[in-house]
Amino acid sequence: MRKERAAPVTDLPVLLPVRSPCVPVLSLRAWHGLVLAAAVLMFAPAAGAQAGSEELSIIGVIIKWMPLLLTGFGFNLLISVLAMALGTIVGLGLGLLQLSEFRWLSRCAWALTQFFRNAPWLVLLFFAMYLIPYEFRIGEVTIPFPDWVKAVIGFALPVMANVAEIVRGAVQSISSGQWEAADSLAFTRRQTLWMIILPQCVKRMLPPWMNLYSLVTMATVLASVVGINEMLTLTAQVHNAEGGRTDLLAPLYAFALLCFFIYCYPINLWTVRLERRFNVKS
C-alpha cells in the first residue's frame, strides 16, 4: 500500500514547488496592458489624419462598433464559463475514476484523459462540431444542438482531460501518511477520499484550475474558425463593414487583445498569489 502511493507522479508545473523568485520569469505585467492600450490610441490619430472626411476616425469606428464587439466578447466568456463548468464536472469524475480500485476502470479513465489531453484543441473543436448532430430526438422530443452548444462541448473536452489530470495529480500529492492514518482509523476508501483527501486537494487544485480557465477563455477565439459569432468573427465582420480599411486592421485586433488581457490578467495575478500563499503555508 505504501509503495503504490509513495511517489507523487505529476507533470503539472503548478503542483511543483513555486519557482524561485530570483529566476526571471516571462509573465504578463500590468504595463503590458498599458502598452497595448497605448498602441490602440497611437494608431488612432495618425490614421485619422490620413482618412478622408467621410470616413470615421479609428476611435470613432471602435466606439461605434463597441457594443457589438463587446457582445461578441461576452459570447466568448459565456462559452468559456459553460465549457469550464461542464469540463470540470466531467473531469472530476474522470479524475476520480483514474483512482478507482478496479483496474480496468482506472485504465480506461487514464487512456481517455491522455487522449483528450494530448489532442490539439482546434481538432477537438472540429470533432465536436462535425460529429455531434444538430439535434437529438428522444421519442417525440427534439433537442436542438446549435453550433455554440457544440462549441461548448468541444472546449469542454480538453478541459475535462486537464481537470482529470489536476485531480489525479493533487490526490497523489497528498502524503501516504494520510491514507495510512485513515486506514488505521477504519475509514473506508471512499470515506478517506471524500472526507480526508479531497478537502486537502481543493487548495492544491485551485491555482492550476484557474490557470486552465484563462487558457480556455483565450482559446474560445478558435470558435471563429467554425463560424461562431464570437469576438474574433465579429471583428473581421466589422472590418469588412468598414470597407476593409487597412488602417483599421491593427487597432481592431488590438482592441480584441485588450479585452482578453483585461479579463485574463487579473485571473493570472490571483492564481500566482494563491500559488504563493499555499506554498508558503504547506
Partner 1 sequence: MAAWTPDQPMVRLRDVHKSFGQSEVLKGISFEVMKGEVICIIGPSGSGKSTLIRSINALVPINSGSITVEGQEVNDPAVDKLALRRKVGMVFQQYNLFPHRTALQNIMMAPIHVLKQDRSEVEARARALIRKVRLEGKEDTYPGELSGGQQQRVAIARSLAMRPDLMLFDEVTAALDPETVKEVLVTIRELAREGMTCILVTHEMGFAREIANRIYFTDQGVIVEHGSPQEILDHPREARTKAFLEQVL
Ligand X SMILES: Nc1ncnc2c1ncn2[C@@H]1O[C@H](COP(=O)(O)OP(=O)(O)O)[C@@H](O)[C@H]1O
Which residues are at the interface with ligand X (CB under 6 A)? 2-3
**Is 2 a residue that touches partner 1 (CB under 8 A)?**
yes
User: Nearest residue by C-beta to ligand X?
Assistant: 2
What's the N-to-C CA distance of the chain in angstroms? Answer: 24
Task: Report in angstroms how near the CB of residue 184 gets to ligand X at its nearest.
Answer: 15
Task: Report in angstroms how near the CB of residue 7 gets to ligand X at its nearest.
Answer: 11
Task: Look at residue 175 and give its three-state secondary structure.
Answer: coil
Task: Look at residue 138 and give its three-state secondary structure.
Answer: strand
Touching partner 1, residues 190-249 (CB under 8 A): 191, 195-196, 199-200
**Alpha-carbon gap, residue 38 to 28, rounded angstroms:** 16
Task: Report in angstroms how near the CB of residue 181 gets to ligand X at its nearest.
Answer: 16
Binding partner at 265 among partner 1, ligand X, none, C-beta below 5 to 8 Å by kind:
none
Binding partner at 180 among ligand X, partner 1, none, C-beta below 5 to 8 Å by kind:
partner 1
Say which DSSP state 145 is in: -
Binding partner at 244 among partner 1, ligand X, none, C-beta below 5 to 8 Å by kind:
none
String of DSSP letters for 53-122: TTSPPHHHHHHHHHHHHHHHHHHHHHHHHHHHHHHHHHHHHHHHHHT-SSHHHHHHHHHHHHHHHTS-HH
**Alpha-carbon gap, residue 214 to 80, rounded angstroms:** 9
Say which DSSP state 220 is in: G
Binding mask 152-191 for partner 1 (x = CB under 8 A): -----------------------x-xx-xx-xxxxx---x
Q: Residue 204's closest CA among 5, 14, 1, 3?
A: 14
Task: Report in angstroms how near the CB of residue 1 gets to ligand X at its nearest.
Answer: 7
SS3 content of the chain, % helix, strand, coil (to 5): 75, 5, 20
Query: Which C-beta is closer to ligand X: that of 176 or that of 268?
Result: 176
Task: Report in angstroms how near the CB of residue 3 gets to ligand X at its nearest.
Answer: 4
Query: Which C-beta is closer to partner 1: that of 43 or that of 179?
Result: 179
Task: Report in angstroms how near the CB of residue 174 gets to ligand X at its nearest.
Answer: 17
Residue 189 near residue 179 (C-beta atoms within 8 A):
no
Query: Site residues (CB under 8 A) for partner 1?
Result: 1-3, 175, 177-178, 180-181, 183-187, 191, 195-196, 199-200, 281
